[in-house]
Structure 1
Amino acid sequence: MQIQDLPYPDPGVPDARSGPRFLWWLGRNQLTGQLKSLAWGLLHFLSVSLLPFCVGHAVQAVVDRSGGRLAAAGGLMALCGAGIAVGDTFLHRAAVTNWITAAARVQQLLARHAAHLGSALTRRVAAGEVVAVSTGDVEKIGWFVEAVSRFTAAALTVVLVCAGLVVYQPALGVVLAVGLPLLAIAVLPLLPRATRRADVQREKAGRATELASDTVAGLRVLRGIGGEELFLDRYRRASQEVRHAAVRSARMWSLIAAIQVLLPGLLLIAVVWYGVHLVRQGRIGVGDLVTVYSTVTVLAYPLHHVEEIAMAYSFSRPSARRAARVLSLERATDAAGTHTAGATPHGDLYDPASGLLAPAGLLTAVVCGDPDAAGRLADRLGGHSAEPGPSVLLGGVPLDDLPLAGARTAVLVQDKDPVLLSGSLRALLDVPRSGAVTAEDALAAAQCEDVLAALLQGSPSAAEPLDARLTERGRSLSGGQRQRLALARSLVTDPEVLVLDEPTSAVDSHTEARIAQGVRRLRAGRTTVVFTSSPLLLDRADRVVLVHEGSVAAVGVHRKLLREEPRYRAVVTRETEEDTAARGALRGDDVVDGLRHIEETA
């Protein structure tokens, strides 16, 4: 796999049972790239390790006054130099390719799984953790995957060189064969503590990222209530905790690095002392001593990869654990796809858990006093729920028996806080659709005339409204304008069932009345479920359902429920018990007539 071939046609099915298993799965799926990196690494490290042999032969040739042997040593040094250059170049190329392709695979897996889970993801995993996994964690996972092959090449080089030295010069070779493995394992007792400190650092960094994400998302509200300094102080404290954890982690890694400098130095001193003793006894030549001395010096280079692989694993293990946790999440009951492929069911939408029934072809309004419970119920109607329970039925067919794509096509759920992506308005409305509803009709039903004017004003080069540009998340628009564009996007898809969660909570009453009329007209003959407490929308519904404490408590039309159902009236009119007593003989019809007057004057 080359970088230019990204993204993968299919990133595969990951082994998400644990972090180490996930890392092993990634490495196994890049076996060709790992072998390339291993081959170039061996060429590079062996070429570096053979230089001392060439230098030693050159020195001994000078001592023996042998010009032929000196020329041969020079030729070998030139070959080693070429091997170092070629090996290092292609090793770096292969390593970077492995790093980027591994990171890209993880990002594809996360993106695919996020689309699979939908809104259930952020209810089960903190938004800050999702951000941390898809950014910094991806890089650390890629680092470990590519470092494995370089470490393997370095370890094999050390083993081969030690074996060669034992054969070439047994007296000093045995010392190195025993000393070098001890150097490699000397830092192992420190690794668990370093790993724990790295885990603490990553955990605190994830919390700080989550806090920053929540603060940015609620910045407008914070400014309105004067809470900016409060959250800024919280982030300062979280940031300082991350800094302290990073310093403690860096201290441990600096100790490991110091040991890896100190111990090879002590080994070098021991080898030189013993080698000089052997030279004075005449057991080895000066060139042999230079060879062994240079070998010890050069082998410190591949030995540094022991420290790197330990550090890479320590940082990537918690990252892989978080990624595996996200990738292991499943919907409450993942679609088995037992329904006939390509057949979209028709009929009533029914939720056995709450008893909610939305008859086919009607506009059903749902009133729920708990906004969070309403959001969960809306997700369950679309098959996005992360909670266990019986499946929602569409035309008698469980949504969990539909393929995921079929369930998403049959039932579309618009979240309470829909996201608008940057780009042109035409691209925003370029979504899978039935073709029965045009973009112009959807925009008109959602009352987007002023939104189009605002977008045209901000995009002077746009030839027509659909070519106007949207900024990131529609930040240049008001909350009500963004809400109406999201509603238009949902309407243009024209799904079999459309579920809207508070689609007009940020618009004024006059616009809301026109939207209620437009949605009813455009969705005539199609099943629509609206979660709302707005009297203007409720009065336009064919059927109103009151959900109290997770179950259907009353069913009827708006005016009747307003007169006869106190719990319904309390949610819709926001009245307290004192308000109820003060209201006295005020009839529900009077309230409705007042709301009707607002609609007529709109």
Structure 2
Amino acid sequence: MQISDLPYPDPGVPDARSGPRFLLWLGRGQLGGQAKSLCWGLVHFGGIAGLPYAVGSGVGAVVERDGAGLLRAGALLLLIGVAISVGDAMLHRTAVTNWITAAARVQQLLARKTAELGSALTRRVAAGEVVAVSTGDVEKIGWFVEAVSRFLAAACAIVAICVGLLFLAPSIGVVVAVGVPVLALSVLPLLPHATRRADVQRDKAGKATELASDTVAGLRVLRGIGGEELFLGRYREASQQVREAAVRSAGMWALIAAIQVLLPGVLLVTVVWYGASLVQEGRLEVGELVAAFSAVATMLYPLRNVEEIAMAYSFSRPSAQRAARVLSLTRTGPGRAEAGREGGGGPDPVGDLHDPATGLLAPAGLLTAVVCGDPDAAGRLAERLGGHPAAAGDEAGDASDGLPVLLGGVALDGLPLDTARRLVLVQDKDPVLLSGTLRELFDVPSSGKVEPAAALAAAHCGDVLDALLQAAPDGVDDPMDARITERGRSLSGGQRQRLALARSLAADPEVLVLDEPTSAVDSHTEARIAEGIAALRAGRTTVVLASSPLLLDRADRVVLVDGGAVAATGTHRELLRREPRYRAVVTRETEEEQRTARLGPARLGKELTGIEESA
């Protein structure tokens, strides 16, 4: 695979059981690139390994006044110089190609996993961790893949130099053969400590960045309540923690760098001192001493690659572990991981939407409202209805999460992903608007039966269109050509929410699940939107998770979910009359008001009198 051939037509199915297994899988997928890089590495480091002996033979020829030997040494040095130069250039080219192609493969895998899981991904893994994996961790993984072939070539050069010294000067060769492993392994005990400190720095930096991002996003609100100084103080504290962690990490890496300079210097001094004594005793020729000195000096260069591969693996292993954790997630429940990947040739299922875990039933063609006292539980239920059940061990998951949601009696998470998403669309309570024109915003897969204008009218977006057109440059007369800024920051929260609702209505899926679609709008606008949803989705299955009486009153049926199961079913007005738990959630009754409704004023007064007497 060359860089020009990227992206991969198919990045493959990774072995995500652990970080080392994932690295091994990446390596197996690049055997051709690694072999090519290794060959050029052998040319480069082979030239380096032969350089000391060519220099030694040249010095020996000068000492012995051998002109022919000096010419041979010069020709050999020229050949070695060409090999070193060409090998170095091609090694760098092929190694960087391995780095980029490995990083591209990992990024494609992460992008595919993100598309597969959708918004369910950030419910299982923190959004900051996903960003860290797709940026810094990808780079570290690519670094290790790139360093492997260079390390193997350097190891071959080190062995060749040691073997050559054993033949050329056995006494010095033994000293070098003993010292080289010590040099190679000297910093290994320190690498885990350095890696841990680097991870602490990375985590603290990520938290500081997240705090800064949240502060910037909520700057308008902070100014309104005078909270800038509070958050500024928090960011100062977080940045100081990052600085302290960076100093600790840098101290450990400085110690490793000092050892890498000190020990090779000690070996070099030892070889020179011992070799000089051998020359004085007549047991070693001057040319042989120069060759031995040059061999040890040049050996320090390939030895750096031993330290590099250790550092690269030390950094890449936790990065690969984090990547494997993300890539191992599936949209399906336990025991159903393969079902969603199988293509189905039958017709799309139609009918009621049923969640066996909670007992929720949304009849086909009706507007069903679901009331949950816990907003987090409502969000998890919305994800389940979209075919994304919580996996075993996930936060807030339970044993019932293994039961698949059924659409027309067919398991939703057993359908191919594109089919499931075409049939059921879930809109989060915090939908995202990407930058671009309004026309591009509505360029989404849809049935084609609902025009954007009708969807915008149903979501009561008239003032949003006026605001976009007013902010558009001269010459833009159609609001559909007006641009939306990044994440719709130029619009209010209610305006963004209504645009997202209009986009969902225009998609016109078989089943539409809306999680608190009007939480950021006023009651007058909410009433208009409730009418618009009911009218536009007439005859289509719609599930709205909300606690607003205006929305609930427009629903064909209302379901109360309490404690993870359906507790009551009926119309909004029926449940207000006969279900205290429903009334408590919808009307925000206090506990005292609930007791009053249950006991009646007279009985409650008697109870209070009894409590006072006992006191």
Equivalent position to 2:345, from 335, 341, 362: 341
Kindly state the Cα deviation for residue 413 of structure 1 after the two structures are TM-superposed.
0.6
The answer for the alignment partner of 1:322 in structure 2 is 322
The answer for the alignment partner of 2:233 in structure 1 is 233
Cα deviation per residue 1:376-424 (whole Å; 9 max; x = unaligned)?
1111111122132321111111213222222222111100001111122
Question: Would you say 1:502 and 2:506 are equivalent positions?
Answer: no
Structure 1 residues 167-176 or 390-399, which shifts more?
A: 167-176
Kindly state the Cα deviation for residue 452 of structure 1 after the two structures are TM-superposed.
2.1
Map 1:414-453; keep pairs closer than 5 Å: 414-453=427-466
- 44 and 335 in structure 1: CA distance in 2 versus 1, 3 angstrom threshold: closer
Question: Would you say 1:80 and 2:83 are equivalent positions?
Answer: no
Map 1:2-401; keep pairs closer than 5 Å: 2-216=2-216, 218-331=218-331, 332-333=333-334, 334=337, 336-337=339-340, 340-386=344-390, 387=397, 388-401=401-414
- 290 and 339 in structure 1: CA distance in 2 versus 1, 3 angstrom threshold: closer
Cα deviation per residue 1:230-276 (whole Å; 9 max; x = unaligned)?
44433433333333233223222222222221122111112112222
Cα deviation per residue 1:197-226 (whole Å; 9 max; x = unaligned)?
334334444444454455555555544444
Kindly state the Cα deviation for residue 339 of structure 1 after the two structures are TM-superposed.
8.5
Q: Secondary structure in 1 aligned to 2:560?
A: strand
Cα deviation per residue 1:49-77 (whole Å; 9 max; x = unaligned)?
32222222222222222333222222222
Q: Secondary structure in 2 aligned to 1:500?
A: strand
Kindly state the Cα deviation for residue 142 of structure 1 after the two structures are TM-superposed.
1.1
Q: TM-score, normalised by structure 1?
A: 0.91
Cα deviation per residue 1:417-462 (whole Å; 9 max; x = unaligned)?
0111112222221111111112222222222222222222333254
**Contact kept in structure 2, 1:335 and 1:402, CA below 8 Å:** no
Map 1:402-413; keep pairs closer than 5 Å: 402-413=415-426
Q: Take 1:318 and 1:228, find their aligned partners in 2: how far apart are those partners?
A: 36
- 4 and 411 in structure 1: CA distance in 2 versus 1, 3 angstrom threshold: same
Structure 1 residues 231-240 or 94-103, which shifts more?
A: 231-240
Q: TM-score, normalised by structure 2?
A: 0.89
Map 1:450-469; keep pairs closer than 5 Å: 450-460=463-473, 461-462=475-476, 464-469=478-483
Kindly state the Cα deviation for residue 529 of structure 1 after the two structures are TM-superposed.
0.8
**Contact kept in structure 2, 1:445 and 1:522, CA below 8 Å:** yes
Kindly state the Cα deviation for residue 300 of structure 1 after the two structures are TM-superposed.
0.6
Q: Take 2:81 and 2:305, find their aligned partners in 1: how far apart are those partners?
A: 21
- 149 and 340 in structure 1: CA distance in 2 versus 1, 3 angstrom threshold: closer
Cα deviation per residue 1:13-46 (whole Å; 9 max; x = unaligned)?
1111111111121122121221222122222222
How many residues end up aligned between the 2 structures? Answer: 584
Gaps of 5+ in 1: 585-602
Cα deviation per residue 1:476-510 (whole Å; 9 max; x = unaligned)?
11111111111111111111100001111112222
Q: Secondary structure in 2 aligned to 1:119?
A: helix
- 385 and 465 in structure 1: CA distance in 2 versus 1, 3 angstrom threshold: same
Kindly state the Cα deviation for residue 358 of structure 1 after the two structures are TM-superposed.
1.0
Q: Take 1:319 and 1:127, find their aligned partners in 2: how far apart are those partners?
A: 16
Kindly state the Cα deviation for residue 550 of structure 1 after the two structures are TM-superposed.
2.2
Question: Would you say 1:488 and 2:499 are equivalent positions?
Answer: no
The answer for the alignment partner of 2:540 in structure 1 is 526
Equivalent position to 2:572, from 558, 578, 585: 558
- 581 and 548 in structure 1: CA distance in 2 versus 1, 3 angstrom threshold: closer
Q: Secondary structure in 1 aligned to 2:542?
A: strand
Q: Secondary structure in 2 aligned to 1:529?
A: strand
Whichever residue aligns with residue 299 of structure 1, its letter is: M
Kindly state the Cα deviation for residue 561 of structure 1 after the two structures are TM-superposed.
2.5
Map 1:564-579; keep pairs closer than 5 Å: 564-576=578-590
Q: Secondary structure in 1 aligned to 2:339?
A: coil
Kindly state the Cα deviation for residue 6 of structure 1 after the two structures are TM-superposed.
1.8
**Contact kept in structure 2, 1:128 and 1:209, CA below 8 Å:** no
Q: Take 1:515 and 1:424, find their aligned partners in 2: how far apart are those partners?
A: 23
Whichever residue aligns with residue 120 of structure 1, its letter is: A
Equivalent position to 2:555, from 534, 537, 541: 541
**Contact kept in structure 2, 1:162 and 1:176, CA below 8 Å:** yes
Q: Take 1:508 and 1:580, find their aligned partners in 2: how far apart are those partners?
A: 27
Q: Secondary structure in 1 aligned to 2:509?
A: coil
Q: Take 2:229 and 2:551, find their aligned partners in 1: how far apart are those partners?
A: 39
Cα deviation per residue 1:84-119 (whole Å; 9 max; x = unaligned)?
221121111122222222122111212211222233
Q: Take 1:247 and 1:356, find their aligned partners in 2: how far apart are those partners?
A: 55
The answer for the alignment partner of 2:604 in structure 1 is none
- 467 and 513 in structure 1: CA distance in 2 versus 1, 3 angstrom threshold: same
- 240 and 313 in structure 1: CA distance in 2 versus 1, 3 angstrom threshold: farther
Q: Secondary structure in 1 aligned to 2:65?
A: coil
The answer for the alignment partner of 1:590 in structure 2 is none
**Contact kept in structure 1, 2:438 and 2:480, CA below 8 Å:** yes
Cα deviation per residue 1:528-554 (whole Å; 9 max; x = unaligned)?
111122222222211122222222222
Aligned CA-pair RMSD: 2.4
Structure 1 residues 430-439 or 55-64, which shifts more?
A: 55-64
Kindly state the Cα deviation for residue 182 of structure 1 after the two structures are TM-superposed.
2.4
Q: Take 1:398 and 1:444, find their aligned partners in 2: how far apart are those partners?
A: 34
Q: Take 2:31 and 2:217, find their aligned partners in 1: how far apart are those partners?
A: 42
Q: Take 1:433 and 1:46, find their aligned partners in 2: how far apart are those partners?
A: 61
Q: Take 1:385 and 1:275, find their aligned partners in 2: how far apart are those partners?
A: 72
Whichever residue aligns with residue 513 of structure 1, its letter is: A
- 325 and 208 in structure 1: CA distance in 2 versus 1, 3 angstrom threshold: farther
Kindly state the Cα deviation for residue 344 of structure 1 after the two structures are TM-superposed.
1.4
Whichever residue aligns with residue 148 of structure 2, its letter is: V
Instruction: Report % sequence identity.
Output: 74
**Contact kept in structure 2, 1:414 and 1:499, CA below 8 Å:** yes
Q: Secondary structure in 2 aligned to 1:412?
A: strand
Q: Secondary structure in 2 aligned to 1:118?
A: helix
Q: Take 2:217 and 2:389, find their aligned partners in 1: how far apart are those partners?
A: 23
Structure 1 residues 413-422 or 341-350, which shifts more?
A: 341-350
- 232 and 133 in structure 1: CA distance in 2 versus 1, 3 angstrom threshold: farther
The answer for the alignment partner of 1:473 in structure 2 is 487
Q: Take 1:160 and 1:573, find their aligned partners in 2: how far apart are those partners?
A: 83
**Contact kept in structure 2, 1:256 and 1:307, CA below 8 Å:** no
Q: Secondary structure in 2 aligned to 1:498?
A: strand
Q: Secondary structure in 1 aligned to 2:402?
A: coil
Whichever residue aligns with residue 455 of structure 2, its letter is: A
